[in-house]
Structure 1
Amino acid sequence: VNRKNRQPMQMLRWIENLIPTVCASFKVEAYKTVSKNSKWHVGRCSVTFYGIKNNSQLAGYAFKIAAERISVMTAAYDPLSSELFVLSGHFTDRGTKASITKRGRLSYALGIVHGINLHVEETQKQDEAKRKQKLNKARNAASKREAYESDGDVSSDEASKCDFAPLELMNDSKDALSRNGDEDSAIVRLKRLEKVECAVLALVKHHENISKDVLKNKNIKVKKGKKRNALELNHNDFGKGVEDAREIDLHQRAISDKPD
């Protein structure tokens, strides 16, 4: 419970938005908990990632580093100094400046998280497209081999009608052997890529089953959280956050922390 307004304890909105982005990036699930202290009317919010152990550990590390980095970037961001804000001439009293700064920084932080999410989605789409492209190429190569085999070899009667010299026939035979070798490897490649595709689909199901087993074994019941009210954002600050999100890579061991 918040000691000032006695409202139930909640995470910062941008942190809540960061959780599903990290889950999608590392193929895990997560739940948040709030531990309350009735004496002091305070609480502690925490996030738990679960699923495949290694993925969950990486997700927790990436979440911690990203949240710390976003906090630093948000604290250093000054909405009042932005060119668009200065030109608008919204300077009035201190209370107005304080509220504008608060909303601007929140908009900026939410923009960063949104930018990270866009990068994760785009990366996953590109990986899937590359995988399908390789599979389609392998299928085309294999289908050409099957078409070549269905035509069959030239019969002896047809060969006797050819006007090729013996040397030319030998060269053609070598070329045919070379083509057969390439075509055999094409089928091997197709089978390998088809196995990879099946493994990817099976792995997705495997992740889901492991996540369910973790909750069941730990006897943890996850409740659906309440939907928070819509928030009016400052689009300029939000857009700046999306732009600055490129400084954060969830899969980078040492997320860039360049001094301003």
Structure 2
Amino acid sequence: MAGLDPHVRKLFFFEKFVVQSYNQTRRGFRCDIVFYGIYSNAQLAGYAFKVAAERIAQMSAEYKPKTTSRGISTKSSRLSYALGIVEGISEDVKKNLQMEKEKSKRKLERARLAGSKGEAYEESDDEEEEDIDHEAAGYSFPKNDDDGNGNKMDGDEKLPPDTCSSNLNGGEKDSKPRPISGVHLQSRVKELEEEQQAALVLINHNEKVAEEVLKEHDIKLSSGRKRKAIDFDRHSYNRGIEDAKEIDMNQRAIRDDVKVKKEKQENT
């Protein structure tokens, strides 16, 4: 996993959790990954990294490379496969983040346009459904077998409809958003503008916190030794990108069974 860790950290978690990270290798056998920044973000990033790294390691261990890979070792093929999975997941994460940014921008533009024309503004049903669909976008977590009351729960188990409604609307049933205009529309536009501005401020704040953590603990980072290049297996890398699509980035729990596509052994 030592060859995989930097790629997972750089491409997978920095943008989502807005934290920094570094790794240190001890005696060539142990590799420690450290996330630093805002405490809660670092906790989530560390936990998500552990889950993702173990998931990818499991898929890589079960991957059977083709025997016709021009003398490339199984180890190199599996690492190439793992790097492909990371790339595939990273692209999906970046796409989700971009969709969130575009959705926020689109809402603000629609609200401003409605206000300038003196029309009522209504958040469309499509946008509301998109909010729900992407609520858990990002990373998968292991299933929780306990609901907090000693009852066993499946990771894919759904909450009763009345529970979902009460959580979303303070005990009332779901209702379609009503059109707003006038003073209420002006307030909504201001809220959307503040949300965009707050997102930029938060990123800058998180970066400063990360720098302060290193300074406070007198930690100096160096580039470290250059890693030895591996025999890159393009076929396994592309297969990893393809198999990454089977990982549901919106699921709320990781299932115990991991489906891995195995290459068919060709007869020589």
Q: Same fold (TM over 0.5)?
A: yes
Residue 2 of structure 2 aligns to which amino acid in structure 1?
L
Matched, 1:144 2:154: no
Aligned-pair CA distance for 1:254: 3.0
Q: Is the 1:30–1:50 contact (alpha carbons within 8 Å) kept by the matching residues of 2?
A: yes
In structure 1, how many angstroms separate the alpha carbons of the residues matched to 2:31 and 2:225? 15
Aligned-pair CA distance for 1:101: 1.9
Matched, 1:56 2:42: yes
In structure 2, how many angstroms separate the alpha carbons of the residues matched to 1:109 and 1:121? 18
Matched, 1:126 2:117: no
Q: Is the 2:59–2:258 contact (alpha carbons within 8 Å) kept by the matching residues of 1?
A: no
- Structure 1 residues 259, 33: CA separation in 2 closer, same or farther (over 3 Å shift)? closer
Aligned-pair CA distance for 1:138: 1.5
- Structure 1 residues 142, 116: CA separation in 2 closer, same or farther (over 3 Å shift)? same
Q: Is the 2:77–2:233 contact (alpha carbons within 8 Å) kept by the matching residues of 1?
A: yes
Matched, 1:22 2:41: no
Q: Which residue of 1 aligns with 2:196?
A: 197
- Measured on the aligned residues, the alpha-carbon RMSD in Å equals 2.6
- Counterpart pick for 1:77 among 44, 63, 81: 63
Aligned-pair CA distance for 1:231: 4.6
**1:57-106 Cα deviation digits (max 9, x unpaired):** 1111111111111111111111136xxx4xx8x6xxxxx4xx43222211
Count, aligned residues: 199
Aligned-pair CA distance for 1:124: 1.0
Residue 31 of structure 1 aligns to which amino acid in structure 2?
Y
Of the two, which has the highest radius of gyration?
A: 1
Aligned-pair CA distance for 1:248: 4.0
**1:85-138 Cα deviation digits (max 9, x unpaired):** 4xx8x6xxxxx4xx4322221111110111111111111111111111111112
Alignment gaps of 5+ in structure 1: 1-10, 37-41, 91-95, 147-180
- Structure 1 residues 231, 144: CA separation in 2 closer, same or farther (over 3 Å shift)? farther
Aligned-pair CA distance for 1:54: 1.0
Q: Which residue of 1 aligns with 2:264?
A: none
SS in 1 for 2:26: strand
**1:201-254 Cα deviation digits (max 9, x unpaired):** 110111111111111111111123455465552222111111222344677553
Q: Is the 1:35–1:43 contact (alpha carbons within 8 Å) kept by the matching residues of 2?
A: yes
Q: Is the 1:66–1:255 contact (alpha carbons within 8 Å) kept by the matching residues of 2?
A: no
- Structure 1 residues 221, 136: CA separation in 2 closer, same or farther (over 3 Å shift)? same
Q: Which residue of 1 aligns with 2:233?
A: 234
In structure 2, how many angstroms separate the alpha carbons of the residues matched to 1:222 and 1:207? 18
Q: Which residue of 2 aligns with 1:34?
A: 25
In structure 2, how many angstroms separate the alpha carbons of the residues matched to 1:32 and 1:259? 28
Name whichever structure is richer in helix by fraction.
Answer: 1
In structure 2, how many angstroms separate the alpha carbons of the residues matched to 1:56 and 1:253? 20
In structure 1, how many angstroms separate the alpha carbons of the residues matched to 2:83 and 2:243? 11
In structure 2, how many angstroms separate the alpha carbons of the residues matched to 1:217 and 1:250? 36
Matched, 1:46 2:32: yes
- Structure 1 residues 257, 25: CA separation in 2 closer, same or farther (over 3 Å shift)? farther
- Structure 1 residues 255, 22: CA separation in 2 closer, same or farther (over 3 Å shift)? farther
**1:7-63 Cα deviation digits (max 9, x unpaired):** xxxx63222211112222211100111233xxxxx5421000011111111111111
SS in 2 for 1:80: coil
Q: Is the 1:69–1:257 contact (alpha carbons within 8 Å) kept by the matching residues of 2?
A: no
Identity %: 42
SS in 2 for 1:17: helix
Aligned-pair CA distance for 1:142: 2.2
- Structure 1 residues 259, 30: CA separation in 2 closer, same or farther (over 3 Å shift)? closer
- Counterpart pick for 1:12 among 2, 5, 8: 2
In structure 1, how many angstroms separate the alpha carbons of the residues matched to 2:13 and 2:220? 21
Alignment gaps of 5+ in structure 2: 120-179, 260-268
Q: Return the TM-score normalized by structure 2.
A: 0.66
Q: Which residue of 2 aligns with 1:243?
A: 242
Aligned-pair CA distance for 1:255: 2.8
Aligned-pair CA distance for 1:259: 4.2
Q: Is the 2:118–2:181 contact (alpha carbons within 8 Å) kept by the matching residues of 1?
A: no
Q: Is the 1:116–1:246 contact (alpha carbons within 8 Å) kept by the matching residues of 2?
A: yes
